[in-house]
Amino acid sequence: MLELNQKEWDAFSNIFVFRSVPKKCRLTDAGEIAREAYFINKGLARLYFLKEGEEINANFVFENGFITSFESFLLQNQSRQVVETLEESELLVLRKHKLDELTKAFPKFNIFNKIMAEQAFFMLQRRASSFILDSAEQRYLDMVQQRPNILERIPQHMIASYLGVTPVSLSRIRKRISGE
């Protein structure tokens, strides 16, 4: 799909910079422009909204995943979401202006941009339709099936807002399920 010669590959790998960060490190704050996107080599990060001081989790991203406030990164406007590590992490940092330079030098990388936008869309599409079509209980069951590492590595009250319910309600859902 994206076949690169040596020169292109060098240019591509050079736009990523390694960075080590502690846990609870805010990589992008709400209101600020997401000038970077992060490939997670080791560790774990989350994306969340702030609503009246309350944190509402939109996504959790693990090893080999890619995280950023996509809308802000793509449009370079103020982010409505926060990107924050949950564990000590090792990141490959992609800077937007570097990516733009690369795309200018090698138009072929427009395909990379396309793939990034598409992936962000597909991810969101799956999530949005589960909110539209399924109950919170079904969403929880699907999550356990499809993303078991969330259950293992994320505290329950954070999972609650990810599923769109209160921590109390999630606890009730779990009880309901276990008693069946």
Q: Which residues bind DNA (CB under 7 A)?
A: 135-137, 155-157, 164-175
Residue 47-86 contact track with a second copy, rule CB under 8 A, x = bound: --x-x----x-x-----------xx--xx----x------
- Which are the contacts of 174, defined by CB distance < 8 A and separation ≥ 6? 140
Residue with tokens 């960060």, as numbered in its chain: 21
With beta carbons less than 8 A apart as the criterion, state whether 167 and 157 touch. Answer: yes
Name the binder of 133 from DNA, a second copy, none, CB < 5-8 A by kind: a second copy
Name the binder of 129 from a second copy, DNA, none, CB < 5-8 A by kind: a second copy
Q: Give the nearer residue to a second copy in terms of CB position, either 133 or 179.
A: 133
With beta carbons less than 8 A apart as the criterion, state whether 99 and 107 touch. Answer: no
Name the binder of 70 from DNA, a second copy, none, CB < 5-8 A by kind: a second copy
CB 77 to DNA: min, Å: 29
Candidates 77, 11, 73; CA nearest to 36 is 73
Q: Are strands 66-67 and 81-85 parallel, antiparallel or unpaired?
A: unpaired
Q: Report CA-CA distances (Å) from 171 to 64, 137, 175.
A: 30, 11, 6
Which residues would be at the binding site for a second copy (CB under 8 A)?
49, 51, 56, 58, 70-71, 74-75, 80, 107-108, 110-111, 113-114, 117-118, 120-122, 124-125, 127-129, 131-133, 164
